[in-house]
A and B are shown apart, each in its own frame.
Chain A
C-alpha cells in the first residue's frame, strides 16, 4: 500500500503540529511538508514538489485558500486539495467545491473522519460528509441564478404585471418596496426591448415567458 504524501498548509503552527502528530499515528499517511501560507505552498508546488494531498486552510496570510485552489486548477496540478477550515457556512463549502476542492473538513473534525476523508480522496474520490453536503446544498438551493433573459424575480414580476396587478399590489405581494417593483419593471422593459406594458405583454407572450 502506497504512502499518502500529505502537505499541511495552515498559518497556525500549533494547529499544524497537532494535526501532524494526529496523522503520524497512521502509517499510510506521511506528512511530507507543512507550510504557513498559500504563497509558500505555491512555491513548493512550482518547484515540482511531489505530494498527493494538501490539507488547505482558507484563511491564511499572503495567499488564502481560495486563491490556492484557483492556482492549482490553473496549473492542472495532480495535488488533490482538501479544505480544512473553521468556516462551517454553506457558501464557503460550495465555493471550495466549485473551485476544485476534493473535500471540505472543519478544523474540529474528529480524527476518524479526517482519516476517512484523506483515504477517500487519495483514492481519487471526493469526500464531503453528510453534514457538510447538507450545508452546501442548503446554500445552493437559495441561490437562484437564472439562465433565461429575465431573472427569476423579474419573471415573477412580469407574471403579476400580466395579471393586471398594480405596482403597489405587486410590491405588497412580493414583500418589496414599490420602487423596487418599478425598477424591476423598467429593467424588464429594457431587457425585452419594449416601451410600454402593452408591448411587454405581447412580447412576453410570444416568448412564452407568461
Chain B
C-alpha cells in the first residue's frame, strides 16, 4: 500500500470518527434537551388546564350547591341516569348514560328540600381544552373517562363522538393508578406522542387529562439538525479528503523526488541537478542530507576518477571514520602511488643501467683506443724512427702517425675522456672546452667551481659531461650563439650546472627530439636531479641541479 493511500485512510477515518462522535453527542444532547423542554412545556400546559378545569368544576359545584333552584333540569329523554347515582351527591360523568354518548358532566345534590341535578356546560371545559397556545400543530389536550373512553372532542377525529374512541394508553392507565407522569408512547391513534398526564378527581368525577404532541412534530428540528449535521459532516469530510490529499502531496512529492534522485544515484549518476520544492524544514533537511550524500559520493567519484587517470596527488578526506568507501579509495591511491613509485624506480633504474652500460662501453672503447691502439701507433712510430732510412719518407710517415694518434686521442676523448675517471668532471670540462675553443669562433667561458675533494660521483660526472656536450653541441649547431657561459658550482648539498647561450632560443613545448633535450632530461632524471629550461631568444639558460649523495 503506498504512503498516499495510507495517509488518506488514516487522516480521513480519524476525521470521520471525530465528526461522528461530535455529531452523535450533540444530537443526543439536543434531543435530550428537546425532550425535557417539550415534556416540561406540555406539563405546564396540562397543569394549567387541569387547574383551570378543577377550578371551574369546583366553582360551578359551589355555585350549584349554593343555588336554591331545585329542579331536575335534565332532558331525561337523552339522559337515563340510574337511581343508584341519583341518590348520591356529587359531580358525575354522565356520558355513559347519554343515549348518543355525548360527553356530559353533571352535578347531583340531594337534600331535605329536594334533589338538584344540573348538567354542566361542557363548552366551558371544551374552551379550556381547545386553548392550544404552545401546542404546535399536532398538540392536543384531552380528557379520558375511567372507562378509558375519550370525553373531549379529538382534534384529529372532529366528527367522531369522543365516547367511541377508546384510549387505553400507558398514560391513562398510569394516571388512573394515581401516577402522574410523562413519557413518550403511542396515543389512541397509534402515533408516537410526547405525553403528560394526570388524574382530575373532583367529587365523584374521575377523569384523566392528557396533553400530547406528536413526536414527529417535536423531532422535526431534530431531523433538520440531523440533516444539517449530515451536510456538515459531508462537507468536513470532503474538506478533510482535500486537505489530506494536499498534505499527502506535500509529504509524498518530496519522497517521490527523493526516490527519483536515489534511483538516479543508484544508477551511478551523481551529477543530476534537479531542483525540488522544499516546503518544510524536515524535507529541506532531508534534501540537504541528500545533497551532502551526493556531494560526498561526487567527491568519491571525482577522486576515483582522478585515481583512474593516475592523478595520484589528489587529496581526499574521508567523510567520517566510518567512510569505508573513502578509506578504501585512499588505500587504493596509496597502493597505486606505491606501485607507481616502484614502477618509476624500476624505469629509472633500467634507464640508468642502460645509460651506464652504454657509458661503460664507451669507456672501454675509449680506453682501448687511447691505451691500446695509441701505444701500437707509437710503436709504429718507433719502428719508423728505427727502420726507415729515407729521411723524407721517415718524416712523412711520422707525420701521418702523429696525426693518427691525435685523431685517436680526439676520438677517445669524445667517447669518454680519461680525465673524468682520473680528475673528475671539473677538470674534464675544462679540458673539453679548452680543446673545443680551438675549433670554434664562438666564445665559450667555463667556470669550474667544483671542490678540490669533489663529492660528485663518477656516474654524475659522466652524465654532467654528456649533458654539457649535448648543450654545447646544440648551441653550436642550432642556436647561432655568439657566447656560451657555463658554470659548474659544487656545494655540500648539491651541484649546479648553469648553462647560458645568447642564441635564437627554441620553443620548449615543440622542441624537436633532435635537439637532445629529451636525452638531457633523461640523464637529469636518472641522477635524481632537476632541470629548469628558459629558452628565450638571446637568453637561453639551463639550470641543472643534482643532489650530492654522501
Instruction: Please list the residues of chain A having a beta carbon within 8 angstroms of any beta carbon in chain B.
Output: 10, 12, 14-15, 17-19, 21-22, 25, 59, 66, 86-92, 95, 107-108, 110-111, 138-139, 142-143, 145, 151, 153, 174-177, 179-180, 183-184, 187
A59-B371, A175-B485, A180-B496 known; A21 and B422 CB under 8 Å?
no
B386 touches A22 (CB 8 A): yes
The one of A92, A142, A179 in contact with B430, judged by C-beta atoms closer than 8 angstroms, is: A142
B385 touches A91 (CB 8 A): no
Which chain B residue has the least Cβ–Cβ distance from A143?
B448
Q: List the B side residues contacting A139 at CB < 8 Å.
A: 427, 430-431, 434
Chain A CB within 8 A of B418 CB: yes
The one of B374, B446, B543 in contact with A177, judged by C-beta atoms closer than 8 angstroms, is: B543
Complex: A87 Cα to B430 Cα, angstroms: 15
A18-B383, A110-B398 known; A145 and B378 CB under 8 Å?
no
Q: List the A side residues contacting B496 at CB < 8 Å.
A: 176-177, 179-180, 183
A107 touches B378 (CB 8 A): yes
Complex: A176 Cα to B374 Cα, angstroms: 39
Complex: A104 Cα to B379 Cα, angstroms: 18
Task: For residue A189, give the distance in angstroms from its CB to the closest CB of chain B.
Answer: 14
The one of B376, B401, B427, B486 in contact with A14, judged by C-beta atoms closer than 8 angstroms, is: B376
Chain A CB within 8 A of B370 CB: yes
Q: List the A side residues contacting B385 at CB < 8 Å.
A: 22, 110-111
A153 touches B449 (CB 8 A): yes
Interface of chain A: mostly helix, strand, loop or mixed: helix
B489 touches A180 (CB 8 A): yes
A19-B382, A108-B402 known; A14 and B434 CB under 8 Å?
no
Interface of chain B: mostly helix, strand, loop or mixed: helix
Complex: A171 Cα to B377 Cα, angstroms: 48
A91 touches B489 (CB 8 A): no
B375 touches A15 (CB 8 A): yes
A18-B386, A110-B398, A176-B498 known; A91 and B379 CB under 8 Å?
no
Complex: A10 Cα to B402 Cα, angstroms: 20
Chain A CB within 8 A of B487 CB: yes
The one of B374, B430, B487, B500 in contact with A180, judged by C-beta atoms closer than 8 angstroms, is: B487
Known: A15-B382, A107-B375, A110-B385. 8 other contacts (CB 8 A): A12-B379, A86-B378, A86-B405, A91-B423, A176-B487, A177-B545, A180-B487, A183-B496
Could you give 24 example pairs across A and B, Cβ below 8 Å? A10-B375, A14-B375, A15-B375, A15-B382, A21-B386, A91-B419, A91-B427, A91-B430, A95-B423, A108-B381, A108-B405, A110-B398, A142-B430, A142-B446, A145-B452, A153-B489, A175-B447, A175-B486, A177-B496, A177-B545, A179-B543, A179-B545, A180-B487, A180-B498
Which chain B residue has the least Cβ–Cβ distance from A21?
B386
Q: How many residues of B contact A (CB 8 A)?
A: 46
The one of B379, B423, B447, B532 in contact with A18, judged by C-beta atoms closer than 8 angstroms, is: B379
Q: List the B side residues contacting A95 at CB < 8 Å.
A: 423
Q: List the B side residues contacting A176 at CB < 8 Å.
A: 487, 489, 496, 498
Task: For residue A38, give the distance in angstroms from its CB to the closest CB of chain B.
Answer: 14
Q: List the B side residues contacting A179 at CB < 8 Å.
A: 494, 496, 543, 545
Chain A CB within 8 A of B409 CB: yes
Complex: A50 Cα to B417 Cα, angstroms: 36
Complex: A166 Cα to B290 Cα, angstroms: 56
Task: For residue A169, give the distance in angstroms from its CB to the closest CB of chain B.
Answer: 14
A59-B418, A187-B491 known; A90 and B382 CB under 8 Å?
no
B491 touches A87 (CB 8 A): no
Which chain B residue has the least Cβ–Cβ distance from A18?
B382
A19-B382, A21-B382, A175-B498 known; A86 and B409 CB under 8 Å?
yes
Q: Fill in one digit per residue for B386-421: 1 if any A CB lies within 8 Å of its CB, else 0.
A: 100000000000100110010001000000011100
Task: For residue A57, give the distance in angstroms from its CB to the closest CB of chain B.
Answer: 8
Max count, chain B CB within 10 A of own CB: residue among A87, A108, A151: A108
Q: List the A side residues contacting B423 at CB < 8 Å.
A: 91-92, 95
Complex: A22 Cα to B386 Cα, angstroms: 6
A176-B489, A177-B545 known; A92 and B422 CB under 8 Å?
yes
Q: List the B side residues contacting A88 at CB < 8 Å.
A: 409
A142 touches B448 (CB 8 A): yes
Max count, chain B CB within 10 A of own CB: residue among A14, A21, A92, A180: A180
Task: For residue B309, give the distance in angstroms from its CB to the closest CB of chain A.
Answer: 32
Chain A CB within 8 A of B493 CB: yes
Which chain B residue has the least Cβ–Cβ distance from A111?
B385
Q: List the A side residues contacting B381 at CB < 8 Å.
A: 18, 108
A86 touches B545 (CB 8 A): no
CB under 8 Å from chain A, chain B span 351-382: 370-371, 374-379, 381-382
B430 touches A18 (CB 8 A): no
Complex: A185 Cα to B401 Cα, angstroms: 52
The one of B375, B431, B445, B447 in contact with A12, judged by C-beta atoms closer than 8 angstroms, is: B375
Task: For residue B522, give the distance in angstroms from its CB to the closest CB of chain A.
Answer: 20
Q: List the A side residues contacting B543 at CB < 8 Å.
A: 177, 179
Complex: A109 Cα to B378 Cα, angstroms: 9
Task: For residue A11, give the distance in angstroms from its CB to the closest CB of chain B.
Answer: 8
A22-B385, A89-B431, A139-B430 known; A183 and B375 CB under 8 Å?
no
Which chain B residue has the least Cβ–Cβ distance from A84?
B378
Q: List the A side residues contacting B493 at CB < 8 Å.
A: 183
The one of B382, B446, B487 in contact with A174, judged by C-beta atoms closer than 8 angstroms, is: B487
Task: For residue B545, give the distance in angstroms from its CB to the closest CB of chain A.
Answer: 7
A108 touches B401 (CB 8 A): yes
A90 touches B379 (CB 8 A): no
Q: List the A side residues contacting B409 at CB < 8 Å.
A: 86, 88
Task: For residue A112, give the distance in angstroms from its CB to the closest CB of chain B.
Answer: 10
Complex: A138 Cα to B430 Cα, angstroms: 10
Complex: A179 Cα to B427 Cα, angstroms: 23
The one of A25, A66, A86 in contact with B375, judged by C-beta atoms closer than 8 angstroms, is: A86
A183 touches B378 (CB 8 A): no
Task: For residue B139, give the distance in angstroms from its CB to the closest CB of chain A.
Answer: 122
Task: For residue B4, give the distance in angstroms from its CB to the closest CB of chain A.
Answer: 73
A22-B385, A180-B489 known; A175 and B378 CB under 8 Å?
no
Q: List the B side residues contacting A187 at CB < 8 Å.
A: 491
Q: List the A side residues contacting B417 at CB < 8 Å.
A: 89
Which 6 pairs across A and B sit closest by C-beta, in order of nearness?
A18-B382, A175-B485, A12-B375, A177-B543, A107-B378, A18-B379
Q: List the B side residues contacting A180 at CB < 8 Å.
A: 487, 489, 491, 496, 498
